[in-house]
Amino acid sequence: MIQSAPASTPRFAARQADQIRTNIRHIGRRQWFLWITAVLVTLLLTAGMASFAIPGLLTEVQDSSFLLSQAMRGLVGLVLLFNVYTIYQQLQIHRIQRQLCDQVEALGKVEVRTEEVYKMAVLDPLTGLHNRRSGEDHLVTEISRSQRYGRPLTILALDLNGLKHVNDKFGHAAGDELIRSFAERLKNVIRGTDLAVRVGGDEFLVLLPECKPEEVRHVLGRLTGLTVGCAERLIEVSFAAGWADYRDGESAAELLKRADDALYVNKRADQEQKLQIVTAK
């Protein structure tokens, strides 16, 4: 079972950040609406003042100047009050925008840190493949799925040959490059539903749900022929392989042991074959 909490947290943070950005755009639209409303209200109040002023100027009515003065003062007061309200709302909007921007920035930092923690907890730092713990958890999930739906499950164990020799002759940097190149090839030859795991050192594991025997051989065939450049030389990457199909009722440890046993048999057979070739010479 892959640890879902670290994986889901970045997605949740990203959704929150998107929601905040949407709110900021919404506030921006409301801000424009407020400005437009302010302009329209100002124009209407100006028109209202003009409607009071023009008749007073055209007619000679007793106390008309007093009434006009009172009306003008009232309208001017309304205009001032509305402008004060508009400025207050603008200040509030700017404050909220600053707070939302700060929240977006904080969420972005949290997302980056959570992604880093997720990679450290689940992925192998050298190859980018799933690490041993993540692979074993995922294997338990795949076994449960196989038991529930009756679907086949195959695991493939791989072990690189000659890594110690490469480290001793060319240095550990060359050995790391060999491991990275093999891991990259492994990721490219498996399906999207499969899972590649670096168990540790030169050992790898591949979970192959609903995989036929010929498909396992196809994966192995595409893994062969890999060469890595080192110290102006090409090193051919070879490996031993062993695989096992899940048997109903067995545990993850039992399935892994059978795959390891098959890997050991394959490795020992290769060593004996090489020994015979050397002896024949």
Query: Which tops the pLDDT comparison, 207 or 37?
Result: 207
Q: Look at residue 215 and tell me whether its pLDDT is greater than 80.
A: yes
Q: What share of the chain is helix, strand, coil (3-state, %, to 5)?
A: 70, 15, 15
Q: How much is the average pLDDT of 158-185?
A: 92
Q: How much is the average pLDDT of 84-89?
A: 77
Are 243 and 174 within 8 A, CB to CB? no
User: How high is the pLDDT of residue 1?
Assistant: 34
User: How high is the pLDDT of residue 127?
Assistant: 94
What is the rounded CA–CA span in Å between residue 30 and residue 41? Answer: 16
Q: How much is the average pLDDT of 97-124?
A: 74
Q: Lowest mean pLDDT of 76-85, 150-159, 258-267, 269-278, name the range.
A: 269-278
At residue 278 the predicted structure's pLDDT band, cuts being 50, 70 and 90, is very low
Q: What is the mean pLDDT of the chain?
A: 79
User: How high is the pLDDT of residue 37?
Assistant: 74
Q: How much is the average pLDDT of 165-170?
A: 89
User: Residue 129, class by beta-carbon neighbours within 10 Å (0-12 exposed, 13-18 middle, 19+ buried)?
Assistant: buried
Q: Look at residue 17 and tell me whether its pLDDT is greater than 70.
A: no
pLDDT in tens, 218-249: 999 999 989 888 767 888 899 999 999 999 99
Q: How much is the average pLDDT of 150-174?
A: 92
Counting DSSP H helices and E strands in the chain, the numbers are 7, 6
pLDDT in tens, 43-70: 776 776 666 666 655 555 445 565 556 6
- Domain segments of the chain: what residues? 4-122, 132-280
pLDDT in tens, 240-277: 999 999 999 999 999 999 999 999 998 887 665 554 43
User: How high is the pLDDT of residue 254?
Assistant: 96
Q: Look at residue 134 and tell me whether its pLDDT is greater than 90.
A: yes
- Return the DSSP state at 124: -
Residue 25, token pair as written in the block: 């755009």
The pTM score is 0.62
- Determine the topology of domain 132-280 in CATH: Alpha-Beta Plaits (3.30.70)
DSSP per residue over 162-227, as a string?
SHHHHHHHH-HHHHHHHHHHHHHHHHHHS-TT-EEEEEETTEEEEEEET--HHHHHHHHHHHTT-E
Q: Look at residue 112 and tell me whether its pLDDT is greater than 80.
A: no
